[in-house]
Amino acid sequence: MGETTDGGLYEIFQQDYGPVGSHSFEAARENFIISSAGFAVVSLLLQSKDRHNGNLLFDNVGRLVHINFGFILETSPGGNMRFESTHFKLSHEMTQLLDPSGVMKSDTWYQFVSLCVKGYLAARRYMNGIINTVLLMIDSELPCFSRGDPMGNPRKRFHPEMSGCEAANFMIRTCTNAYNKWTTAGYDLIQYLQQGIEK
């Protein structure tokens, strides 16, 4: 998208779905919010990295779709130098759609965070099943299983020691921490300079 327009996501959504406030724009924004929350929870639990803009797609109704999961669990680009310091990507242009207020006060921002919390709490109920599904691949010799503690660390990210209220607050803090983080912008800049991937 960045190659086909001079604007960011906010402008692209208006171009494709109509003016802010119109039914089509708000329906697309709703789809973006819901899908972004789902991927936020998945990214937190599986630690999806290399989340530059070339690995983020949108379908024709505004849903966010992540692709290329070559770096998950214990691996990240650059020899695990931890360029991407947040649990999920929430760039400035993404926050323009999620939070028009720009200060984490809008109804759409609260909707996004609420969905992230609900998704995280739901995933915690299925922690053992999720961990066991990942465990099936541990002997695959995939790089994500070759370093660190590929099974212990995902379990820790579920925070089984926390109460439901504590886990909800953890997810709220995770969303706040990811909001327009400078390291996310820095990683996108690196990808643009090295690979020509639009910011």
pTM for the model: 0.83
Closest CA relative to residue 42, chosen from 135, 139, 146, 157: 157
Q: Give the whole-angstrom CA distance, residue 93 versus residue 166.
A: 30
Q: What are residue 56's phi and psi, to 5 degrees?
A: -120, 125
Average pLDDT, the chain: 82
Query: For residue 120, what pLDDT is reported?
Result: 97
Is the pLDDT confidence value at 139 over 90?
Answer: no
- Name the more confident of 89 and 5: 89
Is the pLDDT confidence value at 1 over 50?
Answer: no
Query: For residue 182, what pLDDT is reported?
Result: 53
Is the pLDDT confidence value at 119 over 90?
Answer: yes
**Kind and range of the H or E run holding 187:** helix 182-195
Query: Which tokens belong to 191?
Result: 């990808």
Q: What is the band of 192 on the pLDDT scale with cuts at 50, 70, 90?
A: low
Query: For residue 137, what pLDDT is reported?
Result: 84
Is the pLDDT confidence value at 14 over 90?
Answer: yes
Number of neighbours of residue 85 by Cβ within 10 angstroms? 13
Q: What is the pLDDT of residues 76-113, one digit of tens each?
A: 766 555 565 677 878 888 888 888 888 888 999 999 99
DSSP assignment of 103-146, as one string? SS-SHHHHHHHHHHHHHHHHHHHTHHHHHHHHHTTTTS--GGGS
Task: Reduce the DSSP state of residue 35 to 3 states and report it.
Answer: helix
Q: Which residue shows structure tokens 């503690």?
A: 149
Question: What structural domains and CATH numbers belong to the chain?
Answer: 9-195 (1.10.1070.11)
Contact 51, 76 (CB under 8 A): no
